[in-house]
Amino acid sequence: MWNWLKKPVAVHQLVVDFEKDYNLDKQSLASKANYLVLDFETTGLDSKKHHIVSAGWVKITGGKIHLNSARYQLVRSPASVGQSAVIHGLHNTEVQQGIELEDLLRLLLQELTGAVLVSHHSALELNFLKQSCQNCFGRSPAFKAVDTLKLELYKMRLKGGPVAQNSLSLSACLARYHLPEVTEHHALSDAFGCAQLLLAQLKSRGTSCTLAELFQQSR
């Protein structure tokens, strides 16, 4: 079942096709772009030894969140969720009812075509995406993401003064824009909250903001 753990497979045609088709005009207006807002829940923070147990995502097109695009997937893990269950609330019996990791990656590569990847503290999603693609397909696309945490940090630094501890959590950022609270550490709920935050951040940046600026501010 877990063949991807044994040895890397040959580069999958899916990755080749994705890389060929994935072209973003970074000079285009950020307000006009399509976005895929993604969140993972995992068994830990190290993508080389921990595992994705759930994924949630939602799309933004035309400056609006499309609820009919929302997806939530449990993902089978080859190891026990262990103490991570305290964080995300998922237990082994639930996780084992999920889809295979490779099937999740197939879905995500399909959904990402023509869209900008977005996450809050995107390092986790990027690391797990890249490692998972490497394990399953033998190579990972050069994923890049707009990071709503980094966008908020950039804005706060422009104002000057210290950045308070925990002021960049998703819940704190949502509260700053007077957006509703979300259920934390649930992949789809966090993805939806992140999508709302991105739209508020784009509005505050004005209509001339480009994708290139968002990527620069997400570094």
Tens digit of pLDDT for each residue in 172-216?
999 999 999 999 999 999 999 999 999 999 999 999 999 999 999
Alpha-carbon gap, residue 138 to 132, rounded angstroms: 9
Angle made by CA atoms 91, 93, 96, in degrees to the nearest 5? 105
User: In the beta sheet, which residues pair with residue 118?
Assistant: 37, 146
**What b/e string do you get for 92-106 counting C-beta neighbours within 10 Å, with b at 16 or more?**
eeebeebeebbebbb
Is residue 104 situated within a structural domain?
yes
Average pLDDT over the chain reads: 93
The predicted model gives 48-67 an average pLDDT of 97
Is residue 160 situated within a structural domain?
yes
DSSP H helices, the chain, are 13-21, 85-88, 92-95, 101-112, 123-137, 148-159, 170-176, 187-205, 211-217
User: Cα–Cα distances in Å, from 217 out to 63, 153, 201?
Assistant: 20, 9, 12
Is residue 196 situated within a structural domain?
yes
Is residue 141 situated within a structural domain?
yes
pLDDT score of 162: 87
pTM: 0.93
Residues 6+ apart with CB under 8 A from 164: none
Query: How many domains does the structure of the chain reveal?
Result: 1
Instruction: Pick the closest to residue 69 from 27, 110, 127 (CA basis).
Output: 110
Is residue 79 situated within a structural domain?
yes
**Radius of gyration for the chain, computed over Cα atoms and rounded to the nearest angstrom:** 17
Residue 201 sits in a domain of what CATH number? 3.30.420.10
Q: pLDDT band at residue 135, thresholds of 50, 70 and 90?
A: very high
Could you read off the pLDDT of 144-167 as tens digits, one per residue? 999 999 999 999 999 888 899 899
Alpha-carbon gap, residue 59 to 64, rounded angstroms: 8
Is residue 82 situated within a structural domain?
yes
Alpha-carbon gap, residue 64 to 68, rounded angstroms: 12
Is residue 113 situated within a structural domain?
yes
Domain coverage including residue 175: 30-217
